Amino acid sequence: RAGAYLIEAANPRHEHEWRVWEEVKLPRGKVLVPGVISHATNIVEHPELVAERIVRFAGVLGRENLIAGTDCGFAQGPFHRRVHPSIMWAKLEALVHGARLASRQLWS
């Protein structure tokens, strides 16, 4: 009964898996939320890269079946932080700017 499926798609382990959606059809009425920024690295994604990831999924699934998200949450536990909070916010800012770029391309 899920309305959306959230998947990791930005980290190097999973980024290639978008191709699965060329053969597997998203169930009717469902939305895919691929991660377009990674929680696993301190590298802040460039907004153009974020936009490319969004456009890639939209090309396979249709723009109306897609919501851009993060690979996972950034809270890895109280004693172990992989990503510094200032980097987390910068990554979310890159997500916003990348989504804006992709929206212009997909909806204009």
Residue 1 CA to its chain's centroid (Å): 22
Helices H / strands E in the chain, number of each = 2, 3
Question: Token pair of 69, please?
Answer: 């998200």
Q: Is the pLDDT of residue 22 over 90?
A: yes
pTM of the model: 0.92
pLDDT higher than threshold 80 for residue 78: no
b vs e for 30-61, b when ≥16 Cβ sit within 10 Å of the residue's Cβ? ebbbbbbbbbbbeebbebeebbbbbbbbbebb
